[in-house]
């Protein structure tokens, strides 16, 4: 891409670059090859930034449409498994949100996950309690 004239906006053509200058045929504006390369690079970078921002904005909107009023709460809950704040309570809360948004399939999955975690937690709590009880009775295990 060779860009367009920053002064009048008409297209700049490479064949006008023979003497090392870019010349606008509409308004007579000129720029050296180095300046031109910098300008085109900046323009391209600006376009990438704009495209990425637009994409982020679209994803944000799609996310908001998906989660409605829970757009802020849901991702925090979903991050639970990675931040170590995973709990049956947060799964149940997500399940509530899914039910509210009409996704019964996701709700059922989340509830069964919450149940499984509760079971695991109870089991390890019981085994702790058991070890503690056993120590108190001076059993060898
Ligand atoms: Zn021009």
State pLDDT tens for residues 20-35: 777 788 888 888 878 8
DSSP helix/strand/coil, 1: coil
Q: 118 CA to middle of ligand 1, Å?
A: 70
Q: 30 CA to middle of ligand 1, Å?
A: 8
Alpha-carbon gap, residue 120 to 61, rounded angstroms: 37
Q: 28 CA to middle of ligand 1, Å?
A: 6
Look up the pTM and report it.
Answer: 0.43
Q: 35 CA to middle of ligand 1, Å?
A: 15
Beta-carbon count within 10 A of 141 CB: 6
Q: Is the pLDDT reported for residue 135 higher than 50?
A: yes
The distance of Cα 15 from the centroid of its chain, to the nearest Å, equals 43
Domain residue spans of the chain: 1-67, 72-141
Q: 47 CA to middle of ligand 1, Å?
A: 21
Q: Are 21 and 14 in contact (CB under 8 A)?
A: no
Q: Is the pLDDT reported for residue 49 higher than 90?
A: yes
Mean pLDDT of the chain: 75
What confidence score (pLDDT) does residue 53 get?
93
| Bridge partners, residue 40, by sequence | none
Q: Is the pLDDT reported for residue 86 higher than 90?
A: no
């Amino acid at each position: 891409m060779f860009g367009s004239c920053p002064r009048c906006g008409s297209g700049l053509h490479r064949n006008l670059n023979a003497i090392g200058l870019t010349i606008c045929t509409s308004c007579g504006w000129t720029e050296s090859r180095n300046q031109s390369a910098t300008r085109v690079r900046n323009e391209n970078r600006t376009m990438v930034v704009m495209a990425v921002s637009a994409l982020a904005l679209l994803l944000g909107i799609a996310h908001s449409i998906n989660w409605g009023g829970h757009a802020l709460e849901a991702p925090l809950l979903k991050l639970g498994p990675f931040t170590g704040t995973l709990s049956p309570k947060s799964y149940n809360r997500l399940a509530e949100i899914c039910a509210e948004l009409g996704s019964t399939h996701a709700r059922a999955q989340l509830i069964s996950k919450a149940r499984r975690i509760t079971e695991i937690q109870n089991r390890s709590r019981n085994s702790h309690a058991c070890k503690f009880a056993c120590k108190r009775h001076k059993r060898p295990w």
